[in-house]
Amino acid sequence: MTVTPRGRHAPVSEATTHRLSLLLRCLRILDGEGVGTISSRLLEERFGMNSAQIRKDLAQFGEFGVRGVGYRIPVLRDRLRGVLGLDRARIVVVAGAGNLGLALADSRNFNSPPFRVAALFDVDPAKVGTASRTGIPILAGTDIARQTQALGAEIGVVAVPAEAAGPTAAALVAGGARAIRNFAPTPLGPFRGVALKNVDLTLFLDGLSYLLAASEPAPPAPEP
Amino acid sequence: MTVTPRGRHAPVSEATTHRLSLLLRCLRILDGEGVGTISSRLLEERFGMNSAQIRKDLAQFGEFGVRGVGYRIPVLRDRLRGVLGLDRARIVVVAGAGNLGLALADSRNFNSPPFRVAALFDVDPAKVGTASRTGIPILAGTDIARQTQALGAEIGVVAVPAEAAGPTAAALVAGGARAIRNFAPTPLGPFRGVALKNVDLTLFLDGLSYLLAASEPAPPAPEP
């Protein structure tokens, strides 16, 4: 799915937004070090990024490079934040306080501005009323729609077992979530007006095995 | 990075391998239900996939569709398994037995054939010698290289804190891992001859906020 955020540029693919996110992270690191400009070549050397791909991606959003100098980091960083919709706060709720939900909610990457994880939900009475390691409250899984609305959450994360994923996503949408990230091991159907992305953990291994296969001879054909 | 596995087809992007993985999952579900053939249109209706994209992706690997009938599921499934390098067993080790490492190792998606998670590693003496919920042994984090080699692991997963990620990845590579999936919140540099993929959990939210931004007016310009 490609869309045009705010009519400011041509739609870009999810692969591109992933690369832009990674680039933005690198720019933040450099900015924190006081670096003012950087070339795509140095981005490749330092962070292992593909400099040609960087230039191609950025060309879609205007002219950022200065010949012989490189990219002006604060300018590029702010522009990427706008493109990625990161120029305003976003409340997130995570349904499921198992290992995955807790790992996400307590991650300093996941729960970091402009995103704020406001609550976890779980159906386990022993967990409800407690908090995660970093202090995120765990609320009742029966209360998802109401709490999602009360918290003003725009993004709902589904980290529950497969059999609970459908009703959980529906409750998040009922509570006003306009974007759903589904980590449950089952694809969820589309919801009208909701950006839905399924994440299959297997993909992380499948992608690697594809690369491993590149360096291997074909397996022997099975006996007829 | 695009490569040509086993010289059997043109190289495809990671975005394509992700889509093929999702398609393969859907085919497994259908096969389990005894369905023999399916059209791209029905794949779209049932699983929310993009039928035009499916046809385009599959066209790279040969002719699978039968006009008026659809795709023959067992044939397509076996071909995709070959393309994705899933036609042989792959041993995986997960470094870091925190919430994320445990979530991955105990996931029935992540730890499923042809992948087998053979061990977790952790530096916490209270965890070493125990096992995860699904019975995966937690071994000493000081022993990564030796155990990775002993287990014959091809894939290493880094799920440790940022400050430990570099040495952990190096130990996995020293033990013979040829592919690394890094979930730590820091990019890892390239290792020669090793397929390395960094996963930034923030990407899952950035991708959604990009979609959210599509339906929003541009934020007001800051005061000069």
Query: Is it the case that residue B118 has pLDDT exceeding 90?
Result: yes
Per-residue confidence (pLDDT) for residue A213, from 0 to 100: 83
Residue of A nearest to B178 (CA): A212
Higher pLDDT: B143 or B208? It is B143
State which residues of chain A have pLDDT below 70: 1-10, 217-224
SS3 per-residue string spanning B151-180? HCCCEEEECCCHHHHHHHHHHHHHCCCCEE
Per-residue confidence (pLDDT) for residue B220, from 0 to 100: 53
Q: Residue B63 corresponds to which tokens in the numbers above?
A: 């002719």
Alpha carbon B146 to chain centroid distance?
Answer: 24
CA distance B212 to chain A (A): 7
Per-residue confidence (pLDDT) for residue A61, from 0 to 100: 77
Cβ atoms < 10 Å from Cβ of B33: 8
Query: Is it the case that residue B10 has pLDDT exceeding 70?
Result: no
How many angstroms separate the Cα of A214 from the Cα of each of A49, B150, B175? 21, 24, 20
Q: Are strands B70-72 and B37-38 parallel, antiparallel or unpaired?
A: antiparallel
Per-residue confidence (pLDDT) for residue B95, from 0 to 100: 98
Per-residue confidence (pLDDT) for residue A99, from 0 to 100: 95
**Alpha carbon distance B28, B77 (integer Å):** 8
Residue type at A61 in one-letter notation = F
Q: Residue B39: which residues within 8 A CB-CB, separation 6 or more?
A: B51, B65, B69, B70, B71
A83 contacts on B by Cβ (under 8 Å): 210, 213
Residue A25 and residue B181: Cβ atoms within 8 Å? no
Per-residue confidence (pLDDT) for residue A9, from 0 to 100: 60
Q: What confidence tens digit (pLDDT) does each residue in B27-56 have?
A: 988 998 999 999 988 888 888 788 888 888
Query: Is it the case that residue B126 has pLDDT exceeding 90?
Result: yes
Q: Are strands B90-95 and B115-122 parallel, antiparallel or unpaired?
A: parallel
The predicted model gives B62-91 an average pLDDT of 86
Residue B1 and residue A198: Cβ atoms within 8 Å? no
Residue of A nearest to B185 (CA): A109
* Average pLDDT, rounded, for chain B: 87
Residue of B nearest to A108 (CA): B185
A25 contacts on B by Cβ (under 8 Å): 187, 200, 202
B53, with CB counted inside 10 A (0-12, 13-18, 19+), is middle
CA distance A195 to chain B (A): 6
Confidence of residue B19 (pLDDT cuts 50, 70, 90): confident
Per-residue confidence (pLDDT) for residue B3, from 0 to 100: 40
**Alpha carbon distance B21, A13 (integer Å):** 18
